[in-house]
Chains A and B, each alone.
Chain A
């Protein structure tokens, strides 16, 4: 079983503040890392697919970086807004994983306080 961990499990952010959190994954046999945003009572939605060491992706105020050699990815939220409140999931795909099998981390639950 692959070990994909996210920290912290939850965090509270004041509106307007920036924040970041971590996903750690096996550094060997890396193929891709995904980030998903999951709002309460909805389905997870893809944010980023990252494949290359040093990748940086950005969507609005949310960005992510990737370090495959040390096995971690950071997700950043700049100027947090209440609508950013959600659980953020990362998912690892190993090289040769059949059917694009994703192994998910436990998620970081973000609550942005007005």
Chain B
């Protein structure tokens, strides 16, 4: 199993550009989440999904969109990038109600918005 994969690893954007951060998992996990990591603030939840076709907002959803058309994939879209979105983004999955909530994290995407 590859686990949770994320692409790209690094990205530089100009303010106002759009992009999609890709996330995929091959563990057949029901739940998937996106977090951002900023210095001194740990991990903050952006959006999450409890299954294909179902998404909901986390703590810091503004400026981000998600969709979940398949169990495996959970892309994160930045419609109009802002410097405040410079961060490291982690995708995670877990087994949902069948498990204990342990999150399995991807390797992260480092994003710089100029």
Kindly state the separation between the CA atoms of A15 and B45 in the bound complex, as whole angstroms: 35
Give chain A residues whose Cβ lies under 8 Å from the Cβ of B76: none
Among B44, B49, B94, B102, chain A packs the most CB atoms within 10 A around the CB of B102
Kindly state the separation between the CA atoms of A42 and B107 in the bound complex, as whole angstroms: 6
B100 touches A49 (CB 8 A): yes
B50 touches A106 (CB 8 A): no
Kindly state the separation between the CA atoms of A105 and B97 in the bound complex, as whole angstroms: 23
A100 touches B105 (CB 8 A): no
Number of A-B residue pairs with CB-CB distance less than 8 Å in the complex they form: 65
B101 touches A89 (CB 8 A): no
Instruction: Bits for A27-38, please: 1 = Cβ < 8 Å to B, else 0.
Output: 000001010100
B43 touches A104 (CB 8 A): yes
**Which chain A residues (29-57) contact chain B, with CB distance < 8 Å?**
32, 34, 36, 42-46, 49, 51
Instruction: Bits for A94-113, please: 1 = Cβ < 8 Å to B, else 0.
Output: 00001111111111000000
Kindly state the separation between the CA atoms of A45 and B92 in the bound complex, as whole angstroms: 11
A99 touches B100 (CB 8 A): no
Residue B53 at the chain A interface, CB threshold 8 Å: no
Among A98, A100, A107, chain B packs the most CB atoms within 10 A around the CB of A100
Residues of B whose CB lies within 8 Å of any CB of A are: 31, 33, 35, 40-45, 48-50, 56, 58-59, 90, 94, 96-97, 100-108
User: Would you give 13 A-B contacts (Cβ < 8 Å), ordered by A?
Assistant: A36-B103, A43-B105, A43-B108, A51-B100, A89-B42, A99-B31, A99-B33, A99-B50, A101-B48, A102-B103, A103-B45, A104-B43, A106-B42
